[in-house]
């Protein structure tokens, strides 16, 4: 077990942050993990400085930080660090006792293109602030980056496996801003004190997931059918390109196992710092669209062709084929097996549909 460690998660209301938070707390509650999860509420209850924005923006309802502009996002980052430093001084005070899982980010690709200053201010400078705090108190850092930092031209061929060795060349402001964070972490932190995780097409339950294309399409089409409208959604993906969508529950299990194994022993030397996390079961994007059509057809008891609600722009699919493999993960944890249910796409996507029905 992680002996008496403290764990803090930025972006704890987002898709990945909330899922990791639940898994950590569950393992603490059932005695498998000896640690304390520091929540925003815990900080507010124990620190003189309060993170008022957490309450004022009603983030729990929205499910993520995507409704914040960059100044509000940066206020949240600064408040997190300020309160966490006060909490550290009061209750921890010893180096190598804290793990910071940095999930918070300005993640909407279109929003980043429209507001590049905000993207860099939040994703780059925000990560720099988090990394500097970790160095100051001797904390471990788990930084969630993105595959958007990589060069899609290098893996455009369907035979090319995307992994940790794929060349870097961001094609979007979002990818560039996240890569700046990567470079700073790699350049300034001790090799044994950080890992960088790159998720591959993670989706989950609405409203925690309000940005994956699976959830966007399902929510959009559900509303059209429910309200008998024909509104169109722009989809910048090629239906014939290979994508590997990974449901959040099983993605989180892999991530938790990685954090648990690597940061179990603070004297351990890390062989790898970069980890692509994927289930390695790519399908054409049309495959996922067909499942959504099937699920909605069953739900509304009529034949549903969701293509009439979508405008596809295949030429704008900058992510290309994603035929990925978690190379460094399985070199690190050779005895890990991905849950079989992670490959039941219809069952996983039905979880998304149920969440939309409840929360729309």
Domains of the chain, by residue range, sit at 5-203+244-279+322-339
Write out residues in the chain with pLDDT < 70, as ranges.
1-3, 50-76, 157-159, 264-267
Reported residue count of the chain is 360
- Backbone phi and psi for residue 349, each to the nearest 5 degrees, phi listed first: -70, -25
Amino acid 320: pLDDT:
78
From residue 148, alpha-carbon distances to 1, 87, 110 in Å are 34, 34, 13
**Nearest-angstrom CA–CA distance, 27 and 13:** 19
Residue listed under structure tokens 């124990």 = 46
Closest CA relative to residue 193, chosen from 133, 135, 130: 135
* CA dist., res. 185 & res. 140, Å (int): 11
Phi, psi of 265 (to 5 degrees): -120, 115
Residue-level pLDDT at 13:
85
Residue 318 near residue 152 (C-beta atoms within 8 A):
yes
Strands of 140-259, DSSP E: 140-144, 194-199, 202-203, 233-235, 242-243, 246-247
Cβ atoms 24, 17 nearer than 8 A: no
Q: Which fold has domain 5-203+244-279+322-339?
A: Rossmann fold (3.40.50)
As a whole number of angstroms, the distance between CA 5 and CA 324 comes to 33
Task: Give, in degrees to the nearest 5, the angle at Cα 96 between 95 and 99.
Answer: 120
Encoded tokens for 207: 């409203």
Picking from 245, 268, 248, 271, the residue whose alpha carbon sits closest to that of residue 328 is 271
């Amino acid at each position: 077990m992680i002996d008496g460690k403290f764990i803090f998660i930025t972006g704890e209301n987002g898709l990945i942050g909330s899922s990791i938070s639940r898994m950590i707390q569950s393992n603490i509650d059932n005695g498998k993990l000896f640690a304390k999860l520091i929540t925003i509420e815990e900080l507010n209850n124990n620190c003189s400085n309060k993170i008022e924005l957490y309450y004022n923006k009603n983030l729990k309802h929205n499910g993520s930080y995507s409704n914040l502009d960059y100044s509000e996002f940066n206020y949240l980052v600064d408040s997190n660090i300020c309160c966490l430093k006060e909490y550290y001084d009061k209750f921890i005070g010893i180096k190598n006792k804290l793990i910071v899982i940095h999930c918070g980010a300005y993640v909407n690709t279109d929003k980043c293109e429209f507001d590049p200053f905000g993207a860099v201010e939040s994703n780059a400078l925000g990560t720099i602030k988090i990394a500097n705090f970790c160095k100051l108190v001797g904390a471990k850092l788990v930084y969630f980056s993105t595959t958007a930092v990589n060069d899609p031209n290098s893996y455009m061929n369907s035979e090319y496996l995307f992994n940790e060795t794929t060349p870097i060349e961001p094609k979007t402001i979002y990818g560039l801003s996240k890569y700046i964070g990567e470079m700073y972490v790699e350049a300034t932190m001790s090799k044994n004190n950080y890992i960088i995780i790159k998720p591959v097409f993670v989706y989950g339950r609405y409203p925690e997931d309000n940005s994956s294309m699976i959830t966007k399409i399902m929510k959009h089409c559900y509303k059209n059918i429910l309200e008998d409208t024909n509104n169109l959604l722009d989809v910048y993906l090629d239906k014939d390109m290979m994508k590997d969508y990974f449901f959040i529950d099983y993605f989180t299990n892999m991530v938790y196992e990685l954090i648990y194994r690597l940061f179990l022993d603070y004297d351990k030397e890390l062989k790898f710092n970069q980890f692509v996390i994927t289930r390695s079961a790519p399908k054409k994007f049309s495959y996922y669209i067909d499942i959504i059509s099937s699920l909605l057809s069953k739900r509304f008891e009529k034949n549903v062709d969701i293509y009439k609600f979508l405008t596809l722009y295949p030429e704008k699919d900058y992510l290309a084929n994603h035929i990925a493999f978690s190379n460094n993960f399985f070199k690190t944890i050779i005895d890990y097996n991905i849950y079989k249910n992670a490959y039941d796409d219809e069952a996983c996507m039905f979880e998304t549909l149920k969440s939309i029905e409840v929360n729309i």
